[in-house]
Amino acid sequence: MLADISSALVMLLEFQNILAIFLGVAFGVFMGAVPGLTGTMGIALIIPLTYSFSPITAFCVLLGTYKGCLFSGCIPAILINTPGTPAAAATVLDGYPCTQKGRGGEAMGTALWASVIGDVISTVALIFGAVLLAQMATKFGPPEFAMLVLFSLTIVAGVSGDSLIKGLIAAAVGFIFGTVGLDPMMATPRFTFGAVTMMNGISMMAMLIGLFAVSELLIQSEAAVKSTANIIVPKATVRWSQIRAMLRTIVRGSGIGIVLGAIPGLGATPAAFLSYSEAKRNSKTPEEFGKGSLEGVAAAESANNATAGGALIPLMALGVPGDVTTAVLLGAFLIHGLAPGPQLFAENIDLVYAIFIALLIAALMLPVIGLAAIRLFSLISHIPRAVLYPIIAMLCLMGVYGFNSSPTDLWVMLVFGVLGYGMRKLAFPLAPMMIGFVLEPIGEQSVRQALTISSGDWLVFVSTPISASFLILTIVSVAFLIRRNVKQNKAETA
């Protein structure tokens, strides 16, 4: 183990990798500080730029972006009552009241240090949790992976949005899109409509940017362009004694973030709200929550940042994304020729440890960049949309075309942008569709390999304790989701 860590340090501690982490965190802070932009969009935009990088340098940039964006969504949330990312929605509850009371600087400092502590705790959990889970996952064969994919899809579809039916439809559509291209077992074309450019399947890059970035631009273009008055940006200051008094809340929030982040389909937003609720329930001064409580800010920010490590645990150990952002990261792994899961730990353990160390460095860089950049990046919230969004659109076009130099990819991006726009307008969740698309090759190949091994005997999927356990969990999850949906429908009609 020590030899692997030493090898990872030698691999990581080069100037270009440290610079990549720094630039990634800074770019993530930019993306999170602009309301409407997200870490998912930021990672999708930056992936094409990393194609010529070595895998470790590429992931230094991508994971730095991930970390930076999770924090900086709090900047507009605290200053102008507008969460920069969905994960910062809970921060608004006490962050903006702090600003109204003239304590915006304390709220900023609390958010920053709660984010850093949550990041460090979740990264430590990732280091130990992923390795242990990866060791267990060496027992996984085709039947186990098939049932794991089925279990993941049911959870993702069920927790994405208010409608179970819409979530299942979105996941199924994503799965269908994943079948386009050459058959993985027979190498025969499927759903290519005679187009040679579709033989390799739908470009993951074009789909990612179209589904998330282009659809977001179309949604935002409907909003009226409004000018906002200049505000005084406070200096992010908080005393260590204040942080120490909130340490229990931060640790509890970190734990909630790790657990909810590791469950596929949940992620930062529910983790932040659950942590906020628990902090209020356990606080000695619950009456201050909602009126400018620093403890409320700490609870929300520690949880939403801790989901990063939690969501990476199933991704790194099993190849199953914990949320939509890690689904995009899964695409980045595949683009760089790496398959997350037990095989990654067996063949590239030094790269795995290098990624872990890069995550720690990114967390430790966050206060340096955050303290220096809060005043600068908070002003981004006032850039007119008429200027900002055309720039983002050009980045989308250049990113997609530059990846494969294929005009077809531009059309694919546009189609998925319009599709994503329509899905949002009709309240269909995007996350199940994306994860269904990413998991389809794993699920299809695992099912067909298992049936080939068993000569068509479907009992192979319950032939081992692991596969049977995942099938039982799938049935229980579906039953629970249907029961919850029926209760909600009865409550709405009552």
Q: What's the start-to-end Cα distance of the chain, in Å?
A: 60
Q: What is the pLDDT of residue 231?
A: 47
Which residues on adjacent β-strands are paired with residue 126? none
Q: Is 66 exposed, middle or buried (0-12, 13-18, 19+ CB in 10 A)?
A: buried
Side-chain-side CA neighbours of residue 240 (13 Å): 0
d(CA 74, CA 52): 33
User: How far, rounded to the nearest angstrom, does the alpha carbon of residue 185 sit from its chain's CA centroid?
Assistant: 31
Asked if residue 340 lies in contact with residue 333, where contact means CB atoms within 8 angstroms, the answer is yes
Which stretches of 175-287 are assigned E, i.e. beta strand? 181-182, 189-190
User: Total structural domains in the chain?
Assistant: 1
Going by C-alpha positions, the residue among 33, 17, 43 that lies closest to residue 399 is: 43
Q: What is the mean pLDDT of each run of 10 residues along the chain (494 residues)?
A: 71 84 88 69 80 84 86 78 71 80 80 87 79 62 82 62 76 87 80 78 78 78 54 61 84 84 68 79 78 84 84 76 75 79 74 83 84 67 69 76 77 91 86 77 85 87 86 84 74 70
Q: What is the pLDDT of residue 419?
A: 93
Q: What is the pLDDT of residue 418?
A: 93
d(CA 253, CA 236): 21
Read off the tokens for 68. 């930076």
Asked if residue 100 lies in contact with residue 64, where contact means CB atoms within 8 angstroms, the answer is no
User: How far, rounded to the nearest angstrom, does the alpha carbon of residue 322 sit from its chain's CA centroid?
Assistant: 7
User: In which domain, by residue range, is 199 found?
Assistant: 2-493
